[in-house]
Amino acid sequence: MQTNLKRVGNSLGVILNKKLLSQVGINDTSDIIIEAKNNTIMISAAVGRRPLNRDLSTWRKQIKAAVKKGQKPEKNVWANRISAREEKEWTW
């Protein structure tokens, strides 16, 4: 399958054919893993992993709770700033 990239906010996205995805067991509710290796981007189903939390509104609360328990957060390049438009754009 050959396709092109589409601008999505500040990022780039790609639309993948449903039939192609179903051949590898991925559907519209699948969690996926995306990896870059040897100049290749690989997409695979996230089998055997806990489901991802897609509710961005709970992330800040979860991060604060983790920090309170002693976990160190990753360096935040956006200094905890996300616009309302970006938050809406990335909410499923």
Pairing of strands 32-37, 40-45: antiparallel
If one counts the domains in the chain, the total is: 2
The structure's pTM equals 0.48
- Reported as a single tens digit per residue, the pLDDT across 19-73 is 999 999 899 888 888 999 899 999 988 877 666 666 777 777 877 888 888 877 6
Q: Domain of 80? A: 53-92
- Regarding whether 39 and 7 lie in a shared domain, the answer is yes
- Regarding whether 11 and 43 lie in a shared domain, the answer is yes
- Regarding whether 68 and 35 lie in a shared domain, the answer is no
